[in-house]
Copies of this chain bind each other. A is one copy, B any other.
């Protein structure tokens, strides 16, 4: 197993952007790419790009740059896209359905094995090939299948309860789309997917821009 240097959130944030950019290049036409080119395209500092790439790749060559194909492979490998984690999702409403079909999470190394909901009319249906089961079964199934990641896409009012079931079943990380502060033991990792924050960032940048113009 390859050991990586420790990585900052900032770098981790940029890696998917590099990947995205590299993949947007015309297939097989750009065999080599320089950190300078990437930096210009994404409006980053070139040394920053080089430092980021140093963490995950075996390096480029002066005057030539990096081998595009290898770089894509190395970033994907670092991000764990090659080695899927299994997950379940609670809530098969609009948001849940979106997540179940959003550009195939499997591409990103996340294998959603089932969805759970409380609504009788949804239980038993299939979304994007995944069965929707009764929420009662969550604890049992996750325990047996050793699922490590739970995704919460239920209304805010039900989020804590479903979170408790997940924690009891032994889930280690929770990706929370409900706008609530979940209470979990320290051993469980929670990542809040914060629409409110994203929107705040957008509208702040916009109003700042308008002030300057």
Contact = CB atoms under 8 A, between A and B. Distances in A.
Interface of A: 7, 9, 12-13, 15-17, 19-21, 24, 41-42, 79-80, 85, 94-95, 97-98, 101-103, 105, 108-110, 148-149, 156, 172-173, 175, 179-181, 189, 191-207, 209-210
Contact of A203 (B101, B109, B156, B201): B109
B180 A209 contact: no
Contacts of A207: 80
Given A20-B179, A79-B200, 15 more contacts: A12-B197, A16-B197, A20-B181, A24-B181, A42-B181, A85-B206, A95-B102, A103-B156, A108-B195, A108-B200, A110-B199, A148-B206, A149-B202, A149-B206, A189-B205
25 contacts: A7-B204, A12-B197, A12-B200, A13-B197, A13-B201, A15-B200, A16-B194, A16-B196, A16-B197, A17-B194, A20-B180, A42-B181, A79-B200, A80-B207, A94-B101, A94-B102, A103-B156, A108-B199, A110-B199, A148-B206, A149-B203, A173-B202, A173-B203, A189-B202, A189-B206
B12 A201 contact: yes
Contacts of A103: 156, 179, 195
A138 to B, nearest CB: 19
Interface centre among A20, A102, A197 (most CB of B within 10 A): A197
A79 B172 CA distance: 33
A175 B197 contact: no
Given A180-B20, A181-B20, A197-B12, A189 B209 contact: yes
Nearest to A202: B191
A191 B205 contact: yes
Nearest to A95: B98
Contacts of A105: 195, 199
